[in-house]
Amino acid sequence: MEFSIQQICKSFNRNPVLKNLNLTIQSNESIGIIGENGSGKTTLLKIISGLMRPDSGRGLLNNLSIFGSDYNYRKDICYWGHQSDSYPYMTVFENISLFLQLRNDIKSEEQIYSILELVGLTQSKNQLLGEFSAGMIQRFHIARLKLSSWSLAIIDEPTNALDESGLGLLNESINSFKKNEKSLIISSHNIHFIQQHCQSIYKLKNGTLEIVH
């Protein structure tokens, strides 16, 4: 797996947020992105994941353009954003089943229930996602990452709202992904978490990335 973006620019209301930004990540590499609120971290992650278009620049994943009309590359990417990006009036089981179906990831009901048990959501498997707490939504995201096939995970503030057991589950999951040679881009205000899991750390400041570790 090889991913890169070059000369990425993005503005909102003529206010530049990203300025000629470059980033490359290889297989089995974990990159951390830090920065102040409003620095553009979420915008950058949405662009990388294909959810937002830059004003200019190019991006490649395994030699496939991520800003073109061919969306086949998305099979290799999994995005974990601030929101549940799912359907609040469907149950957690229904949401995960639909998510996997759209990605053409074939998993049995037993496999899904097994992961829901692992992340602590067995008792909530038939509960509407809109009734979930913020911490339960984070566990839902962990379950999706564990069940789906991907090469690059793009993760935005994964430690938010997690209790001690949830943080333990998250740390264990990240370590497991890395052992399986997955690549990760993680944005977080939790510097300890970033330092624990990322080989390289970048700070997004004034629209560009500066390597800090």
Query: What would the pLDDT profile of 100-117 be if each residue is shown by its tens digit?
Result: 999 999 999 999 999 999
**Residue 19, domain member (yes or no):** yes
**Residue 93, domain member (yes or no):** no
CA distance 208 to 204: 6
Number of structural domains the chain divides into = 1
Write the DSSP string, 119-137. Answer: TT-GGGTTSBGGG--HHHH
Would you state the structure tokens that stand for residue 161, as one six-digit string?
């709202």
Contact status, residue 40 vs residue 207, Cβ threshold 8 Å: yes
Q: What would the pLDDT profile of 30-71 be if each residue is shown by its tens digit? A: 999 999 999 999 999 999 998 899 999 999 998 888 988 887
Domain extent at residue 74: 2-82+146-211
Q: In a 3-state reduction of DSSP, which class is residue 211? A: strand
The residue-averaged pLDDT of 119-131 equals 94
Q: In a 3-state reduction of DSSP, which class is residue 142? A: helix
Binning pLDDT at 50, 70 and 90, where does residue 84 land? low
The residue-averaged pLDDT of 133-151 equals 96
**Residue 56, domain member (yes or no):** yes
**Residue 100, domain member (yes or no):** no
Across the chain, how many H-helices and E-strands are there?
Answer: 6, 10
The residue-averaged pLDDT of 147-169 equals 97
Residue 210 has pLDDT above 70, yes or no: yes
**Residue 127, domain member (yes or no):** no
CA distance 139 to 133: 10
Please, what is the average pLDDT of the chain? 94
Binning pLDDT at 50, 70 and 90, where does residue 171 land? very high
Residue 69's pLDDT is: 81
**Residue 72, domain member (yes or no):** yes
The residue-averaged pLDDT of 123-152 equals 95
CATH value at residue 202: 3.40.50.300
CA distance 82 to 68: 25
**Residue 88, domain member (yes or no):** no
Cβ–Cβ contacts within 10 Å for residue 137, how many?
18
The residue-averaged pLDDT of 94-100 equals 96
Write the DSSP string, 58-122. Answer: EEEETTEESSSS--GGGGGEEEE-SS--S-TTSBHHHHHHHHHHHTT----HHHHHHHHHHTT-G
**Residue 131, domain member (yes or no):** no
